[in-house]
A and B are shown apart, each in its own frame.
Chain A
Amino acid sequence: MAKGRIEFDYGKCKCCLLCTKFCPTNILVLDTTKINEKGYNLIRVTEAEKCIGCAFCAMMCPDSVITVYRLEGSKV
């Protein structure tokens, strides 16, 4: 089971890609098949089971798009 999980507030995403650059497990990618109402492409999690809940993506997101959950008791 994945140690962590993230959720996006998609309407606020501006597709700056900073989250994808700072994820240590490299599981965040640009999804050119999806678009929000502002016209920005969205971000997709490729291998959710690899998320460690470190919150690096969320800390570097300027627009507070990402909420991060971590399994109780698991450490990063």
Chain B
Amino acid sequence: MEKIVYQKSKGLTDATLSYCPGCTHGIIHKLVAECLEELGVLEKTIGVASVGCSVLSYNFFNCDMQQAAHGRACAVATGIKRTRPDSVVFTYQGDGDLASIGIAETIHAANRGENFTVIFVNNAIYGMTGGQMAPTTLIGQKTTTSPFGRSVVDHGEPIRISEMFATIPRASFIARVSVHNVQNVRNAKKMIKKAFQYQLENKGFSLIEVLSTCPVNWGMTPYDALQWVEKEMINYYPLGVYKDNYENK
């Protein structure tokens, strides 16, 4: 007899993802969906889609979804969670959305200790609009708005969101993960699940930063893009748990 050991998560709809071939937005969607399914909370989950390539994620997650204006996902999630405290609430935001136009909303939601989960997809670029520089673009990285490579003098250093949010007292759980190989995909899922578990235990704000690829705007094959994450991105954005207010307490 054979048994199924892997199949599409029930946390995803049957819609075909709108992402480019090999884009790891798809892997991250699967992990969020699998966690919600395994925790048995799909029926009471409300996700907040942001603006960016994942703007259509309301078609892909098999739970209630709300679309927020660019950068405002954490403000919208605050309203949803406060009026429906029994719901599981998450935002799904890119680095343009969260680290640039939405940085204020995100910081203040963390500072208030809002009890929801942020899935922060850091692909070091604005994907949807054609590959412009993001606050997270690496030094030397060429984009359409930094054709000679990002320079510290002109553009400042890339912002490390996880480290920055770890300084906020009421942020409960902050971790940076990656999905560039099987081992890291497994670990990323563990961290996302822990974030949702904390929310279910009313432990407050959690943010999981996931290093992700944009093969199209990076100008690489999907596999080479995964290797670029491993060789270049992780150097500047080290993986790990940056804050856990409840570990050993």
Assess whether B7 is interfacial by the CB under 8 Å rule.
yes
Chain A residues whose C-beta falls within 8 Å of the C-beta of B27 in the assembled complex: 59-60, 62
Inter-subunit contact B17/A62 (CB<8 Å): yes
Assess whether B248 is interfacial by the CB under 8 Å rule.
no
Our count of residue pairs bridging A and B at CB distance below 8 angstroms stands at 80
Query: Quick one: which of A21, A53, A59 contacts B185, CB cutoff 8 A?
Result: A59
Nearest-CB distance from B57 to chain A (Å)?
A: 13
Chain B residues whose C-beta falls within 8 Å of the C-beta of A53 in the assembled complex: 5
User: Binding site of B, secondary structure by majority: helix, strand, loop or mixed?
Assistant: mixed
Query: Quick one: which of B6, B19, B181, B185 contacts A68, CB cutoff 8 A?
Result: B6
A sample of 20 cross-chain residue pairs with beta-carbon separation below 8 angstroms, ordered by A number, consists of A16-B21, A16-B22, A16-B215, A16-B222, A17-B223, A21-B223, A40-B21, A55-B6, A56-B182, A59-B182, A62-B22, A62-B23, A64-B8, A64-B12, A64-B30, A66-B6, A67-B6, A67-B8, A68-B5, A70-B3
Please name the 7 residue pairs, one residue from A and one from B, whose CB atoms are nearest each other, closest first.
A62-B26, A16-B22, A14-B21, A64-B8, A55-B6, A68-B6, A16-B21
